[in-house]
Amino acid sequence: MNTAMTREELEKILDQALQDVTERTAGVRLSQGEQPLGKDLCTVHITFDKGFGTSLTLCADTGLLVRMARNSFHEEAVTPEDLEEFSKEYLNVLCGKITGAMFRATQVPAHFGTPVFYHGRYEPEGQEAQFILTYSDEHSEGAQLIHHVPCAQEDAGAPKQTEQEGDLIR
């Protein structure tokens, strides 16, 4: 996802999109911070299958997602199915906003797959976190938006030089 821009520029796009979509769709204001997540978590994961070989994972306190779903649905009671449906649609909307901003910045069209919902924390295989944006709300509940990139492949112990940094990787 960061082929034609710096990590800082990408972080800014993700941060602005997340804060805007969260406030508009769920009426919740999130601010960046170092708030650790609780133990009761849900994760939604989505892969960009065209344009960028990366993925995004939203891991959040279940209580935060429930409150966001209640606000979005204007309902007091939220079933587990409602929570899953809201979480997947929320990530769809967020990725739509992100791909629009990415296209304006890079002129690379992107397409993302169907989001997948998990109870607990989910880590995608074959990918590693490039960076994590951590958020909390006014109730000290938190969320993390994680940008994943493919794991660096090793070539039979031979050192490889990365194009960007000129570092040797073993």
Query: What does the pLDDT average to over 3-27?
Result: 90
Of the chain, the percentage scoring pLDDT greater than 70 comes to 86
3-state SS, residue 14: helix
Can you tell me the distance from the alpha carbon of 3 to that of 24, in angstroms, rounded to the nearest whole number? 29
Query: What domains can be seen in the chain, in order of their start residue?
Result: 1-22+39-131 (3.40.1550.10)
3-state SS, residue 129: strand
Q: Which residue has the tokens 């989505």?
A: 46
DSSP state letters, 86-120: HHHHHHHHHHHHHHHHHHHHH----EE---EEEES
Instruction: Indicate whether 157 pLDDT > 90.
Output: no
Of the chain, the percentage scoring pLDDT greater than 90 comes to 68
